[in-house]
Amino acid sequence: MKNKRYFFDTILIILLLISTIFCVSPVFIKLDILGTPSHAILTFVLAIPLFYILSQCLHTLLLLVSSIFCKLRPIYFYFIFVIIIGARKYYRILFHQLMGFSPGVAVFYKESQTTKNLFKFYYFLYFTTLISYYFFFTFVYDKPLLLPLIPFSIIIALVQKLYRIENQQLFLLKSKVLTILESKKNCEFNLQDYHEIWKLQSKSELPCVALSYISLIKPYLSESVREQIDLLEVKRFKKINHPISLYGMLDVIKLNLYLRHYNEKNKYESMLNKILEVRPDFVLIEQNIDDSLNSSQPLSLSLAISEIQLLLEVYMGIKHVSIRR
């Protein structure tokens, strides 16, 4: 089962090695690295961030096209510095998405077969595009300097991991959260739809990222669902034996305190106190939360949930949030 889980990772890594040989080597030949090595290396170094950002843009556009083809209406779209949420447009840079750590698209959620087929079509379109891109700039329009886009796009695919069920479920969970926030209506929310996320161990940030997003919609959920979420948070809190899960749970605690979920305030304060007993050096984090609740300074959130900063501003009118890198 574990071998099957990492099968696609292995395929992409092999493709990355092959594409590096066939797509990066011609660039050094074209730049005449032996004749003018300093110029060639400087050009390539400066081009690395550009290719990386362009690769993220490619994935975003392909995911957007895939969602439209599957008749799923986009609710969120991020492209370089343009952000569209519903009918609203914003101009800012979200480092986490600019560097491809999370998809730049979310859709209005609906239960349908097309939703399940979204990722299959996305990867079909992705590999078709890469193959066409390589042949066009190799045999039709000879421009080897543009070929590094291919290995960089494979790196983005390895980072986002939308071929894994748990990452697909996180994408759908974000879409569901945005759909609820946009409609401002109580909505059915089944935690079992995201069961693969809850199975992950403490080394994964996905469960805490998911719980952070769910924190935004608690007022729209039924009492029974909130009780299930409470059990999940307590269960995850007991597994903070890894730095990733520790900082992830701190985000969950800080968000819930910051959003003033008073009926659960004692629970989150107790969690925070238990963390401080083990990590007394986190006392500044406690001070940051206290100051944030009193509106004297921004709340510090991790990059993994950087989109939440904008969502708080759009849907709750809260601008007083900063991102911790």
CA angle at residue 27 from 23 to 32, to 5 degrees?
A: 155
CA angle at residue 165 from 163 to 171, to 5 degrees?
A: 85
Mean pLDDT score, 234-245: 86
Tokens, residue 52: 């990386």
Q: What is the CB-side half-sphere exposure of residue 284 using CA atoms within 13 A?
A: 2
Distance separating alpha carbons of residues 146 and 133, to the nearest angstrom: 9
Asked whether the predicted pLDDT for residue 232 surpasses 80, the reply is yes
Write the DSSP symbol of residue 35.
T
Higher-confidence residue of 306 and 73: namely 73
Q: What confidence score (pLDDT) does residue 114 get?
A: 72
Mean pLDDT score, 146-169: 94
Asked whether the predicted pLDDT for residue 319 surpasses 60, the reply is no
Q: What confidence score (pLDDT) does residue 231 get?
A: 92
Handedness of CA 239, 242, 244, 249 (dihedral sign): positive
Q: What confidence score (pLDDT) does residue 33 get?
A: 65
Distance separating alpha carbons of residues 323 and 305, to the nearest angstrom: 9
Mean pLDDT score, 217-230: 90
**What's the distance, CA 278 to chain centroid?**
29
Mean pLDDT score, 283-289: 73
Mean pLDDT score, 15-22: 92
Q: What confidence score (pLDDT) does residue 325 get?
A: 39
Distance separating alpha carbons of residues 196 and 88, to the nearest angstrom: 32
Asked whether the predicted pLDDT for residue 85 surpasses 90, the reply is yes
Asked whether the predicted pLDDT for residue 262 surpasses 60, the reply is no
pLDDT tens-digit series, residues 101-122: 899 999 998 777 677 789 999 9
- Domain regions of the chain by residue span: 1-71+110-163, 164-325
pLDDT tens-digit series, residues 25-75: 777 777 666 666 777 777 777 888 889 999 999 999 999 999 999 999 999
Lowest-pLDDT range, 129-138, 189-198, 237-246?
237-246
pLDDT bracket for residue 323 (50, 70, 90): very low
Asked whether the predicted pLDDT for residue 129 surpasses 70, the reply is yes
Q: Say which amino acid occupies 294.
A: N
Higher-confidence residue of 216 and 273: namely 216
pLDDT bracket for residue 281 (50, 70, 90): confident
Asked whether the predicted pLDDT for residue 173 surpasses 90, the reply is yes
pLDDT bracket for residue 17 (50, 70, 90): very high
